[in-house]
Amino acid sequence: MESISVTADSGESITISPENMGDMVAFMSRYACAIMEVETKFNVLNAQFNASKSYNPIDTIKTRLKTPESIVEKLRRRGLPLTTQAAEDNLTDVAGVRVICPFVEDIYLLADYLLMQDDVELLEKKDYIAKPKGNGYRSLHLIVQTPVFTPQGKTLVKVEIQLRTIAMEFWANLEHRLRYKKGLDPELLEDLGGELRECADICESLDQRMGGIRRKIEATTTLLDAADKEWQ
Ligand code: 0O2
């Protein structure tokens, strides 16, 4: 087997020798498996809510495994050794799971039920819904650790989970495009940033109003259900 070269967007590259290749493959595979574990946990929660309440708190789940190129870039940026051990010890976003929910309440409900599970350990929580970022970004971020069973035994693997509503996802995707757009006129960049800030407020107010409507519908449904039962 020949050495392979991994080149980051910045142009910097590292060469992975055949001896280290197995280590790299095992490393990536552990994170891919941790993504599967966490994604399954959310799918199971969604199925259980569907069975007990005829309601799906999850609209979509997206997953992403960081590429070796961006792992190298992040390690270099932080001045860390370019090793899988350094990545394991210092990077929390090699495995990413994004859960998109219809309503804000669903986000906290899912986070609570996930963290109740005894094989999920919360390492860090950033609530950008309670405290949005200056640019308007909102989402709930959890860094968790969960076991992955390999032929060599059990390893604990970190996964970054982002929970957000459909409106937050819509906003974040557009803002992400702006953030990575190269060569934009600074004045236009500032204008668009300002517009996005306003859109973030609109998204927040939309999430609140939609949640309010849903609560009213549910209260009515419960009353109607009770009335239906009386006539059976
Ligand atoms: P990408 O391209 O989506 O992967 P760290 O993750 O350790 O580097 P940080 O900034 O403390 O550092 O983590 P944080 O705030 O939890 O953000 C991690 C990820 O959340 C980001 O990953 C984005 O996916 C998302 N995010 C955070 N802030 C914003 C924001 O202002 N706008 C958008 N659109 N997304 C955001 P990456 O690696 O930055 O980007």
| CA 221–ligand 1 middle distance (angstroms) | 39
Kindly name the residue from 39, 160, 169, 175 that is annotated as catalytic: 160
pLDDT (0 to 100) of residue 181:
84
Does the active-site annotation cover 2?
Answer: no
- Beta strands (DSSP E) in the chain are 4-7, 13-16, 60-65, 95-101, 121-127, 140-150, 153-165
| CA 176–ligand 1 middle distance (angstroms) | 9
pLDDT (0 to 100) of residue 183:
84
pLDDT (0 to 100) of residue 54:
82
Q: Which residues of the chain fall short of a pLDDT of 50?
A: none
Q: Would strands 121-127 and 140-150 be described as parallel, antiparallel, or unpaired? A: antiparallel
Q: Specify the residue with its C-alpha closest to ligand 1, atom 28.
A: 137
Best residue among 9, 74, 93 to mutate for probing ligand 1's pocket (most ligand atoms within 8 Å of CB) is: 93
Best residue among 62, 158, 176 to mutate for probing ligand 1's pocket (most ligand atoms within 8 Å of CB) is: 176
| CA 210–ligand 1 middle distance (angstroms) | 26
pLDDT (0 to 100) of residue 77:
95
Question: d(Cα 200, Cα 3) in Å, to the nearest integer?
Answer: 47
pLDDT (0 to 100) of residue 19:
59
Query: Over the stretch 56-91, which tens digit does the pLDDT of each residue have?
Result: 999 999 999 999 999 999 999 999 998 999 999 999
Q: Specify the residue with its C-alpha closest to ligand 1, atom 17.
A: 141
